[in-house]
A and B are shown apart, each in its own frame.
Chain A
């Protein structure tokens, strides 16, 4: 069975600080996909990144960066120079490859509520 753990329930930092959101996953599959989504107060989920299990390259997109470490089953997310607009709940999620090659539903972590104070 698959599982995603986001141990940080809530993080509060002052604007311009760097912050890292942790994500640890469990799966028996060798092929799987990891995601990060942002959920602002409006409720809509915003896609941030997808990473497949064969690609361990870290990625940077503006102030966002992701560190994928298969050895520790972690997929951490760092926001550099945080801004008030970054305040939201962030979810890490996992999906496995179906035997027929189709997409599987996502297993979400419990989410981390990030508060950026001005």
Chain B
């Protein structure tokens, strides 16, 4: 299957700082990537759809000013958690979808905000 990477795999930061997470499609181009969040022992929830060359589409209840998404190229999308707080601590996972429609997921980034 297709390969999606994420960096960093784990990050611990102080409250109030910003954290950037990168998602790359390694062996295919992705005009669309997706960002999900997973709290402990819960399911994955779609946060936003990242579109190359245009603005991201956010799901209801997700603050676009807090979770900045940039999709500058066909292989890279970034998620920046701005002014992070402890309640933002979670497992963030990106996915990308080469034809035909299967979404392949990155290994995830575990964010801990102290």
Query: Which A residues fall within an 8 A CB radius of B?
Result: 33, 35, 37, 42-45, 47, 50, 52, 91, 95, 102-111
Residues in B with CB closer than 8 Å to A102 are 31-32
Query: Which B residues fall within an 8 A CB radius of A?
Result: 1, 31-32, 34, 36, 42-46, 49, 59, 91, 93, 95, 97, 101-108, 110
Residues in A with CB closer than 8 Å to B102 are 35, 47, 50
Nearest-CB residue, chain B, relative to A52: B101
Known pairs A47-B1, A50-B101, A50-B102; A106 contacts B107 (CB<8 A): no
Q: Are A106 and B1 in contact (CB under 8 A)?
A: no
Q: Contact partner of B44 among A33, A52, A106, CB < 8 A?
A: A106
Residues in B with CB closer than 8 Å to A44 are 105-108
In whole Å, how far is A100's beta carbon from the nearest beta carbon of chain B? 11
* 6 nearest CB pairs, A to B: A45-B105, A105-B46, A103-B97, A44-B107, A108-B43, A110-B43
Residues in B with CB closer than 8 Å to A95 are 101, 103
Nearest-CB residue, chain B, relative to A103: B97
A95 to B42, CA, bound (A): 19
User: Which of B49, B93, B101 has the most A CB atoms < 10 Å from its CB?
Assistant: B101
In whole Å, how far is B113's beta carbon from the nearest beta carbon of chain A? 18
A50 to B102, CA, bound (A): 7
A48 to B93, CA, bound (A): 17
A107 to B59, CA, bound (A): 12
A42 to B49, CA, bound (A): 25
Known pairs A35-B103, A44-B105; A91 contacts B32 (CB<8 A): no
Q: Are A106 and B46 in contact (CB under 8 A)?
A: yes
Residues in A with CB closer than 8 Å to B32 are 102-103
A107 to B106, CA, bound (A): 17
User: Which of A33, A37, A42, A44 has the most B CB atoms < 10 Å from its CB?
Assistant: A44
